[in-house]
Amino acid sequence: MAERVIFHVDANSAFLSWSAAYRVKVLGEKVDLRDIPSVVAGDKESRHSIILAKSTPAKKFGIQTGEPLFLALEKCPELVVVQPDYALYVQASRHFVELLRQFSPCVEQYSIDEAWVDMTGTERLFGAPRLAAETMRQRVWEELGFTVNVGISSNKLLAKMAGDLEKPNKVHTLFPEEMEEKMWPLPVRDLFLVGAATQAKLNRMGIYTIGDLAKADVKLLQKRLGKHGQTIWHFANGRSADAVTPEPAENKGYGNSVTTAKNVVSTEQARQVLLSLCETVATRMRQDGMCGGCIAVHLRTNGFVHFSHQSKLHGATNITEELFRAACKVFDEAWDGVTPLRQLGVQITSLAKEPYQQFDLFSELSPQRYERKLKLDETVDALRDKYGENVIRRARFTDNPEDHMSGGLDKERRTGVTKPIPKEF
């Protein structure tokens, strides 16, 4: 049996690269955003304005992805700021994945700008793995106009780690026999699924590199970190048995979150945001014909402390008003009423394809009222689908600056009103 060969292909600074490629290849602009200090970020006046992607020249000024735009402008006053174009990015991502499928039918898209490709048994078609990766990298550049990193290994985990070794526009291998030299000296934070909080816990245990983690006592890791400790220990030792799955996994939940323009300091403000989130989440659920039986509310304070709370519903539903009522109840249990909040999120899980409710003599909601609410939501969905989401909104949002449908996709994509993307891109 042939040894598995897995590629991880990652578009370099995807949003900026795709904006730049579109401007050069389609609009015919002479200045390439990738050659000057530039970033993709939102409205300068909004608190949402964080750096989504940056060019290599911008990186030289110390600009980091995820930092506030105003800080980036302080570092580089001449910085060119481009607003995100999500419709373009979706189109570019589709072309990207379509090209990868010309090398192998077994492609698993991990995010909008990266995917795994199972290249096992393709040597007669494309040559040795490194040669095939170079061919793939070159074709993406020539046909789509942006660069990628390709990581090569015998499993998905090591292929992804290989692709992150050095950027941009590189091909790297990281087979099990190369781990000790290439992966183990790296900071433990560089390991897949090790976040800042986990890194801090590992550092307190004297674990600073991936090699330290690989050689640590797995029983101690389990005691300190639970099941996650065992998982990252296996990852540090290069163990991952996951197969490349061409079809996306079934959605296990629906959720949205939003960073507010101002700190949320009152229950009334919070309810406004929760309703806008439930409106968007419930619309997506109805579009997919799904209902949920469990709701969670996620909160982030202005001190960047995250906490959440969840509750089971009396059945499964996708009615906006019912999800909002449950979200408010969970929020009231979770928030102390004092700490300022900068981000709120709503997530629905325990999915079912059919709604069901538990009604009793004391319930405020009768089967007849439930049915009327569902029909009302469906009518609103139809109007928004045809005329755009702003054609109708709840009276609660008449004089309120908060968006009545927050989080999730860019507004243009939600309403279907998107500018056409030429076929040549």
Q: Catalytic site residues?
A: 114
| 52: number of Cβ within 10 Å | 20
DSSP-based three-state secondary structure for 385: helix
One-letter amino acid at 144 equals L
Residue 424: half-sphere exposure toward Cβ, Cα within 13 Å: 9
Is the omega angle on the peptide bond into residue 420 within 30 degrees of 0, that is, cis? Answer: no
Tell me the C-alpha distance between 342 and 205, whole Å.
32
Q: Tokens standing for 51?
A: 């750096």
Q: Which residues contact 411 (CB under 8 A, 6 or more apart)?
A: 389, 403, 405
For residue 103, the SS3 value is: coil
Q: 272 with 344: CB under 8 angstroms?
A: no
Q: Of 55, 57, 39, 148, whose CA–CA distance to 95 is shortest?
A: 148
Cα(404)–Cα(380) distance, integer angstroms? 13
Collapsed DSSP state (helix, strand, coil) of residue 95: helix
> Residue 6 and residue 380: Cα distance in Å, rounded?
46
The residue among 223, 213, 165, 164 whose CA lies nearest residue 188 is: 213
Beta strand residue intervals within 236-378, DSSP E: 254-264, 291-301, 306-317, 341-352, 356-357
Q: Which residues pair with 331 in a beta bridge?
A: none
- The answer to whether the CB of 271 falls within 8 A of the CB of 228 is no
| Closest CA relative to residue 117, chosen from 160, 85, 165 | 160
State how far the Cα of 372 lies from the Cα of 379, in Å rounded to an integer: 11
Q: Which residues pair with 150 in a beta bridge?
A: 9, 171
Give the residues across from 189 on adjacent strands: none
Handedness of CA 102, 108, 110, 112 (dihedral sign): positive
Query: Count of alpha carbons within 13 Å of 205, Cβ hemisphere only?
Result: 22
